[in-house]
Amino acid sequence: MIERKIKIIPKIQLGCHNVIADKSTEGAIILRNEEDLNLDNHTMLDCLDFWSERAPNTVCMRERTSDGWSEISYKEFLSRVKGVAANLGTLDISADKPLMIIAPNSVNHALVAFAAMTIGVPVTPVSIAYAQHGDTFERLDNIINIVKPGAIYFSDTRFFKKAVDVLRQKHDIQYIASYSNIDDIPAVRDLPKISDEEVAVKRSEVTQDTICKVMMTSGSTGLPKGVINTHRMMYSNQVALYKMWPFLQDMTPNLVDWLPWSHTFGGNVCINITLFNGGTLTIDDGKPIPGQIGRTIENICLIEPNIHFNVPVGIEALLAQFEDDHRVARKFFTSVKVIFVAAAALPEKTRNRLTSLSMDLVGKSPKLLAGWGSTETAPFSTCLNFESDLSVNIGVPMPGTEIKLTNSQDKQALAVRGPNVTPGYWRDEKATAAAFDKDGFYSMGDAGRLVNEDEPSEGLVFDGRTSENFKLGSGTWVNVNQVRLAIVTTLKPYFLDAVITGHNQADIGLLLVPNMTYLKKKYNLTEEQQISSYLQTINELIESVVKLLKEYNETHYSNSTRVCRFAFLPQPPSIEKNEITDKGYLNQRALLGNWSDLVDKMHNKEKASSINFYSF
């Protein structure tokens, strides 16, 4: 394992990696990091062994309880993982029958997950939103049919009673929980046990090729699939990240994090960067959304993290709080040395507000970093490890990872090959075969381009998704991500996001997602008035939107970027309908399909029953 030399006074060193660019015989550009990965044969399980010996009393994880904080050291965490592994060893779970986990982020969730992995059983952590919304729980049902788990773990049957009742009627599977109020759903601690020797034997059989997780894709690009994650994928990501970010040699990660473990970033980065580097993960029981952000602010102030992982909507929510409360902002900017923005680029205006506020209050700004990857790459494929003025700069290939750029339509499609890449999709040979080219590169449907074609070490720019783009009736291609980011920036803070319309139409249109938190405050809206049909009666709002879009069109005047019409999305995007993920990202295709009649009427200048269309 990598030798660590943590210094008392951390220096926030950024890296500088040379990138080699070669051309394939087909004309594609293949990028690779000049530094070798030099991967050893360890796994993340070995990291637990390492730190339980080297720093046994260091806090591994902590979480809020009714009495304050509950903390668990590395030594205790490893001991309890082995104990839970003995319990799980008596279930009908195996390498072919994963353990499905339906639970919020918690110490118990982590213990169950690592216990299963210890005995060679993959886990499938599922978004708790799928077990909390709706009546039929079709998403859960679909996932169970894909994964075919041997058992399902609930954190607490009381919190998911409706889902538990529905699933038990449909699926004859063993159900377990940490806390159960149902007689025939046992608590994990009450399960019989296999011997410590049997646990040790199963642990010794785990290799880097062993499947440790079947992660469900978020559904932002289609129906969810089960993505195989091996121990090699998770461990190689952390070895590469350690080489990309030299500051990890000087600073032990101290995180306060809410990102859900059912998604690759929360589950594979936030947990693993902590365990790989002997850091401490404080599980944030808040969330950067109205009603829960106060708890997040409180946790940040109490713990004073040094690295902050978040998504753009989360950064925006925190920044709004910081601008209103400079005491809290000073605390954050004083302790946080690095901010990593996951999943999407931070809008330029938000980035500038953040750095400006930090400079004004504490005379310095955290390093703003980013990267690119997916559930299929566990998740890093590229990483920004140098300062860049471009918020869409996703950095350079990780050591050991190759990136291929191939011309596709009017873009360059990105594909990746390396030890971080999935071997395929769970029980889906057809999807696996379709995902890889003849050279073994995985394509996730994203596009990118070099910042400087003459100097690939300056990084790559994320250029949206090839699958979301469409042609206007004129044959002009529309870069959906480019238009969407520009519109979101233009219309902040009135709107959170936008669905881009116009496939086979004369021009581009928008379905706008209102920022009800801001609009409620600005226009003193009652609960009943917080709907799109009422918002369109506010003339001041409509006039503001039209004015801002006209200003946008002055600098975006080509057919491929100019916006000519808009409407408010009639209802908030629905998780149950696959319109949005629980991290807040829109599924453009699902929304366009679900609201196709509305879109057609808007572009054909017809009337809708309750929604107004605006053109200019």
**Residue 436 tokens, joined:** 């890889």
Instruction: Note whether 262 and 384 are same-domain residues.
Output: yes
C-alpha span between 226 and 425 (Å, rounded):
6
Kindly state the average pLDDT of the residues 332-337: 96
Question: What is the pLDDT at residue 14?
Answer: 77
In a domain, 414, yes or no: yes
User: What is the average pLDDT across 156-171?
Assistant: 95
- pLDDT score, position 579: 84
> Does residue 61 form part of some domain?
no
Instruction: Please check whether residue 2 lies inside any domain of the structure.
Output: no
Considering the chain, what is the average pLDDT of its residues? 91
Q: Give mean pLDDT, residues 415-423.
A: 97
Residue 269: predicted pLDDT: 96
Can you tell me the mean pLDDT for 140-158?
96
Domain finish residue from 465, 494, 512 = 465
Q: What's the confidence (pLDDT) of residue 56?
A: 98
Which structure tokens are listed for 595? 């609201």
* Nearest residue to 25 (alpha-carbon basis) of 464, 439, 468, 534: 439
Look up residue 390 and give its amino acid.
Answer: L
pLDDT score at 66: 87
* Residue 65 covered by a domain: no
pLDDT of 342 over the 90 cut: no
Q: pLDDT tens digits for 9-44? A: 556 777 778 999 999 888 899 999 999 999 999 999
* 211 in a structural domain: no
pLDDT at 338 over 70: yes
Q: Are strands 307-310 and 280-283 parallel, antiparallel or unpaired?
A: unpaired
Is it the case that residue 206 has pLDDT exceeding 60? yes
Give the pLDDT confidence score for residue 80 in this predicted structure: 98
Which CATH number fits the domain that encloses residue 405? 3.40.50.12780
The segment with the largest mean pLDDT, out of 70-84, 377-391, 563-577, is 70-84
The reported pLDDT for the residue numbered 387 is: 87
Residue 219 pLDDT exceeds 60: no
- At 99 the pLDDT is 98
CATH number at residue 118: 3.40.50.980
Residue 25 lies in a domain: no
Task: Label residue 222 left, alpha or beta by phi (over 0 means left) and psi (-120 to 50 means alpha).
Answer: left
Domain identity same for 103 and 162: yes
pLDDT tens for 48-81 read 999 999 999 999 999 999 889 999 999 999 999 9
Higher pLDDT, 189 or 312: 189
More confident residue, 200 or 574: 200
395's CB contacts (< 8 A; 6+ apart) are 244, 369, 370, 371, 372, 382, 383, 384, 385, 386, 459, 460
Same domain, 360 and 452: yes
- pLDDT band for 346, please (50, 70, 90 cuts): confident
Q: Are 360 and 451 members of one domain?
A: yes
Residues 436 and 505 in one domain: no
* 546 lies in the same domain as 416: no
Q: Are 388 and 319 found together in one domain? A: yes
Task: Give the least confident one: 120-134, 238-252, 287-301, 418-432.
Answer: 287-301
454 and 506 both lie in a single domain: no
Per-residue pLDDT at 244 exceeds 70: yes
Percent of the chain with pLDDT over 70: 95
**Percent of the chain whose pLDDT exceeds 90:** 73
Structure tokens at 8: 């008392």
Domain that holds residue 188: 72-206
526 and 594 inside one domain: yes
More confidently predicted of 104 and 219: 104
Q: Sorting pLDDT into bands at 50, 70 and 90, what band is 615?
A: confident
- pLDDT value, residue 220: 47
pLDDT surpasses 50 at 221: no
* Average pLDDT over every residue of 182-209: 97
Q: What's 188's DSSP letter? A: G
What's the mean pLDDT in 481-502? 92
Residues 359 and 478 in one domain: no
Cross-strand partners of 442: 416, 436
Last residue of a domain, one of 449, 465, 481: 465
Contact between 592 and 599 under an 8 Å Cβ cutoff? The reply is yes
The CA distance from 578 to 23, in Å, is 39
Residue 546 lies in a domain: yes
Give every CB contact of residue 499 below 8 A, 6+ residues apart in sequence. 510, 511, 512, 513, 569, 586, 588, 591, 592, 595
pLDDT for 308 beyond 50: yes
Residue showing tokens 């399909």: 593
What does the buried/exposed string (b/e) look like for 312-323 if buried means 16 or more CB atoms within 10 Å of the residue's CB?
bbbbbbbbbbbe
Residue 355 has pLDDT above 90, yes or no: yes
In a domain, 611, yes or no: yes
* Final residue before a domain boundary, out of 446, 465, 484: 465
> What's the domain count of the chain?
3
pLDDT value at position 210? 98
> Is residue 8's pLDDT more than 50?
no
What is the distance, to the nearest Å, from the Cα of residue 285 to the centroid of all Cα atoms in its chain? 17
Q: Report the alpha-carbon distance of residue 44 to residue 60 in Å, rounded.
A: 14
- 165 & 255 share domain: no
The reply to whether 483 and 606 lie within a common domain is yes
For residues 202-209, give the mean pLDDT. 98
Q: How far apart are CA 331 and CA 302, in angstroms?
A: 9
